[in-house]
Structure 1
Amino acid sequence: MPRPAAITRDEIRATVLAMLAEAGDPEPPSGARFRKVVSVRKLRARLGAGDPTTLSRALNDIEAEVVRAGLADVAIPELPDEIATHMRALWHAAVAVQLDDVMRLRADAAQQAEAAAAASHEADLRTEMLRVELAALRSQLDMRDTELATLRADCRSLTERTDGFRTAAAERQGQLEAAQLALTNMKEAHAREFAAVHTRYEGLSRQLLQETGHQRHALQTEREQLTRQIADAQERAAALEALRDRLLGDLAAERDARLRAAAEGAALITLVAEQRALLAAIDGRARTARPSHHRTPGIASPPPAASRRRRPK
């Protein structure tokens, strides 16, 4: 939708003067007559548009001009012209000051009305916010009441538990006192036992020192005996080592003789084996020669001396 064009101040002034002329007043109107003939609603209806605030301000200015112009034509009778002129000037000045005050008061009233409307709107918003906050606070208060009831129940249960704990603490205190008394008695008994043990320890210590002295003397004597026995054993060991060396020498000589005997035995065994082989060969030849002698008697057998070989010694 297009925005209507702004109405100028001249158009407003011309419209107001036309409305006053249509009213048919022969002289300039007074303030009451002006407000009766011309109003913001009538002026806006005549113009067809316009901001009520702007129209109200322009109408106030035009009213002041028209009423002031009408007062300029008022004549004061039965006064000299000079005095009347001064009185008229004074009257106009007073009226102008009063009109200025009225305009200022109207502007202040309008500003105060706007401020009051804004304050009222803000108060409404604050009231709504306070209502919302009040509802939230009421819900929180209900929650707090519920929590308080729960905490009271917990407090009662904790109080009961505290009483039980106090009773148990009193019992534990009695047990602690009894335990402390028993501990004191045990400490005294322990001190007495420790004194007895200390006395016994001193006696045992002296006895141990005496026995240690006797054992040290016995060990010294036994050590001397062992030293002499060790010396004798060393002498016997030296003699045994000499005997062992001599026996080892005899054993080595016997071993050499046995090795020589074994070598001679091996040589004899070899010689005997050769002689046996030779005898076996001779016997084989002799057996072969005997059958041929029976078949051919003309052939003489060789003499025994020729067939036999001399055995080596």
Structure 2
Amino acid sequence: MARPAAVSPDQIRTTVLAMLAEAELDPEHAPPTSERFRRVVAVRKLRARLGAGDPAMLSRTLNTIEAEVVRAGLAQVAIPGLPDPIAEQMRALWQAAVAVQLDEVVRLREDATRAAEASDAARRDAELRTEMLRVELADLRAQVTARDSELANLRADCRSLTERAATLNGAAAGLQAERDTVTATLAQTRQSHADEFAAVHTRYEGLSRQLLQETEHQRHALQAERERLAGQVSEARERVAALEGLRDRLLTELAGERDARQHAAAEAAALTTLVSEQRALLQTMQAAQPAQAATHGAASATPGRRRRTSATPSVATPSPAGPVAQARRKAR
């Protein structure tokens, strides 16, 4: 909350004019400029003269009074020895230059204000950063405390592990002694095993020589058996060749017998046909005998009819040789 002003703007204006009059910068003397005004009246001097007041308010009021005094003094500047039109032009030129200078002063003041605001923002950022760093520092302190407690626990664990390591070293020494004993026993066992292996190797060499001899004998026996079997195979092949020749001859004879059997079957069929024809002829002749008897009786009764009957051609008796010849020709 802003503090109330200890002095009023009228008091400030009166005090500033009094300070200018004391320094002979009033309108009756030489016209005041911005540099001379600042040398005579400053915020620090004005606040010391008043005895109180807000520096920011004093600065703003002092800037306003400075602009009024400098412009009023320039308007009343008299240039001796010059005509009035030229003096008027010189005043206008001087006022324009002063106005430009005042604009530059205003711009610089605005730049200073912006710089102050930027510095305030930077200060606030720095304060926020400081606060964040404080929070981080508190976190780091908490972490350091936790690490200290963890380190204490680790040290306790380290002591217990050291004691355990000492115990394990003692056990390792005992195990080392046992290992030495076992190593000596193992060396003795290996030596006995080597001796036994040498004996077994010697026995193996004897058995190997014996096995080679037996294998050689079996090889010779197998060779002789192979030669004997080869001779038997040759004899068997010759026997098979003879049997194959016999089989071919028997097949040829069987084919001849088959042809003869077929010829005999054809002749039997021809004879069967001939017998059938003879039987049919015999039956025909037996049937014709009663008819001939009846014919002879009628002829004795009527001589004229006998003449006519005798004039008819007689039935020819078939010869048995004809069908037999035909059957033989068919069979052939």
Partner of 2:278: 286
1:262 paired residue among 241, 254, 260 = 254
Whole-Å Cα distance in 2 between the matches of residues 201 and 40 of structure 1? Answer: 131
1:275 to 253, 267, 270: 267
Q: 1:212 to 1:278 in 2, by over 3 A?
A: same
- Structure 1 residues 243-290: Cα deviation after superposition (integer angstroms, max 9, x where no partner): 113212221221112211221122122112212221221122122212
Give secondary structure in 1 for the equivalent of 2:222. Answer: helix
Deviation track 1:102-136 (CA, whole Å, cap 9, x = no partner) reads xxxxxxxxxxx99xx89996995586356414521
Residue ranges of structure 1 left out of the alignment (5+ in a row): 1-30, 42-49, 67-112
CA shift for structure 1 position 229 = 0.6
Q: Is residue 206 from structure 1 mapped to residue 189 from structure 2 by the alignment?
A: no
2:137 maps to 1:151: no
Query: Is the alpha carbon distance of 1:175 and 1:236 closer, same or farther for their aligned partners in structure 2, counting shifts above 3 Å?
Result: farther
Distance 2:68 2:138 in 1: 58
Task: Report whether the alignment pairs 1:165 with 2:157.
Answer: yes
Give 2:190's aligned amino acid. Answer: H
Q: How far off its partner does 1:222 sit?
A: 0.5
TM-aligned CA distance change 1:34 to 1:219, over 3 Å: closer
In structure 2, the residue corresponding to 1:296 is in which secondary structure?
Answer: helix
Conserved? CA contact 1:40–1:56, under 8 Å: yes
Aligned match of 1:243: 235
Cα distance between partner residues in 1 of 2:174 and 2:164: 15
Query: What is the TM-score when the length of structure 1 is the normalising length?
Result: 0.56
Tell which deviates more after alignment, 124-133 or 187-196. Answer: 124-133
Shift of 1:166: 1.5
1:85-100 equivalences under 5 Å are none
Change (3 A) 1:271 1:141: same
Alpha-carbon offset, residue 307 of structure 1: 5.4
Mapping 1:1-313, distance limit 5 Å: 35=26, 37=28, 52-53=69-70, 56=73, 128-129=120-121, 131-167=123-159, 169-170=161-162, 172-174=164-166, 176-178=168-170, 180-181=172-173, 183-185=175-177, 187-297=179-289, 302=318, 308=324
Structure number with greater CO (CA < 8 Å, separation at least 6) is: 2
Give the Å deviation of 1:158.
Answer: 1.7
Kindly tell me: are residues 246 and 131 of structure 1, through their superposed partners in 2, closer, same or farther at Cα, counting changes over 3 Å?
Answer: closer
Unpaired segments ≥5 residues, structure 2: 1-21, 33-66, 82-104, 293-314
Partners of 2:235 and 2:244 in 1: CA distance = 14
- The residue type equivalent to 1:221 in the other structure is Q
